[in-house]
């Protein structure tokens, strides 16, 4: 069960604002996290606390394929992202590195910045603790559920190849 306060954004949040390219010579998640969202929300880093939840409308994570973007978000303390839709490369990058994503239009329309939200990943349920309303995210296809259960793509690949 994940629980945290919400940081909400609009449509088409691109990977250049999640982690500007001027920091792409870094690859350590903790170093990347120091610059997470700084071009779109300069206060984000001072507000975010471990376990917090990011919410956005459509096409979150569009643009570059930089895995630095979900790595930075995850290392900043964000426990999961809820959006109406995700850009496809960001989606697979997040799943691959074990940052949970949930797609749920209704939840996004009924959650605001600062709300306290509880997420049950196994059930896909999202509860806004401020309003008491509960929403259900789109379930993952079987293959992706398997990938998530394995702990991400690297662990899944190890299993496939029989590497310990």
Partner 1 sequence: MTLIEKILAAHTARKKVSPGEFANIRVDLILANDITAPIAIREFQRIGVGKVFDPAKIVMVADHFVPNKDIISAEQAKLMRDFCSRREIRHFDVGQMGIEHVLLPEQGLVLPGDVVIGADSHTCTYGALGAFATGMGSTDIAAAMATGDIWMKVPATIKLVYHGTLGKWVGGKDLILYTIGSIGVDGALYAAMEFSGEAIDALSMDGRFTMANMAIEAGAKAGIFRVDDKTLDYVKSRAKRPYTVYEADDDAEYASVIEYDVSAIEPQVALPHSPANTRPVSQVSDVAIDQAVIGSCTNGRLEDLRLAARVLKGRKVHPRVRCIVLPGTQQVYLDALKEGLIEIFIRAGAAVSTPTCGPCLGGHMGVLAEGERCVSTTNRNFVGRMGSPKSEVYLANPAVAAASAVTGRITSPEEILIKPKATKSKGL
- Give the nearest distance from C-beta 91 to partner 1 in angstroms: 9
Inter-residue contact 6 to 111 (CB < 8 Å) = yes
Is residue 153 close enough to count as binding partner 1 by CB under 8 A? yes
Among 93, 102, 103, 111, binds partner 1 (CB under 8 A): 93
Work out the burial of residue 102: count CB atoms within 10 Å of its CB; fewer than 13 is exposed, 13-18 middle, 19 or more buried.
buried
- Scan for tokens 């449509």, then name that residue: 11
> How far is CA 103 from its chain centroid?
11
Among 2, 8, 17, 77, binds partner 1 (CB under 8 A): 17
Size of the site for partner 1 (CB under 8 A): 46
CA-nearest of 30, 87, 99, 16 to 56 is 87
- Give the nearest distance from C-beta 29 to partner 1 in angstroms: 10
Q: Which stretch binds partner 1 (CB under 8 A): 1-9, 85-93, 110-118, 124-132?
A: 85-93
DSSP 109-162: HT--TT-EEEEETTTTEEEETTT--EEEPPPPPHHHHHHHHHTSHHHHHHHHHT
Q: Give me the count of residues in the chain.
A: 164
Question: Pattern of binders to partner 1 over 100-139, x per CB under 8 A?
Answer: ----------------------------------------
- Give the nearest distance from C-beta 64 to partner 1 in angstroms: 5
Interaction residues for partner 1, span 43-72 (CB under 8 A): 58-59, 62-68, 70-71
Backbone angles phi, psi at 95, to 5 degrees: -60, -45
- Residues near partner 1 (CB under 8 A): 12, 14, 16-17, 20-22, 24-27, 39-40, 58-59, 62-68, 70-71, 85, 87-89, 92-93, 96-97, 141, 143-144, 147, 152-154, 156-158, 160-161, 163-164
């Amino acid at each position: 069960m994940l629980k945290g306060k919400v940081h909400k954004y609009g449509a088409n949040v691109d990977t250049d604002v999640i982690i500007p390219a001027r920091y792409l010579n870094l690859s350590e998640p903790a170093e990347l996290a120091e610059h997470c969202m700084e071009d779109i929300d300069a206060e984000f880093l001072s507000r975010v606390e471990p376990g917090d939840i990011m919410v956005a409308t459509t096409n979150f994570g569009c643009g570059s394929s930089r895995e630095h973007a979900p790595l930075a978000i995850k290392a900043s303390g964000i426990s999961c992202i809820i959006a109406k839709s995700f850009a496809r490369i960001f989606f697979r990058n997040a799943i691959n590195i074990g940052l949970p994503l949930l797609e749920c239009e209704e939840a996004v329309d009924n959650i605001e910045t600062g709300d306290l939200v509880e997420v049950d990943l196994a059930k896909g349920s999202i509860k806004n603790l401020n309003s008491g309303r509960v929403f259900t995210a789109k379930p993952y296809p079987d293959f992706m559920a398997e990938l998530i259960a394995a702990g991400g793509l690297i662990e899944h690949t190890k299993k496939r190849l029989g590497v310990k």
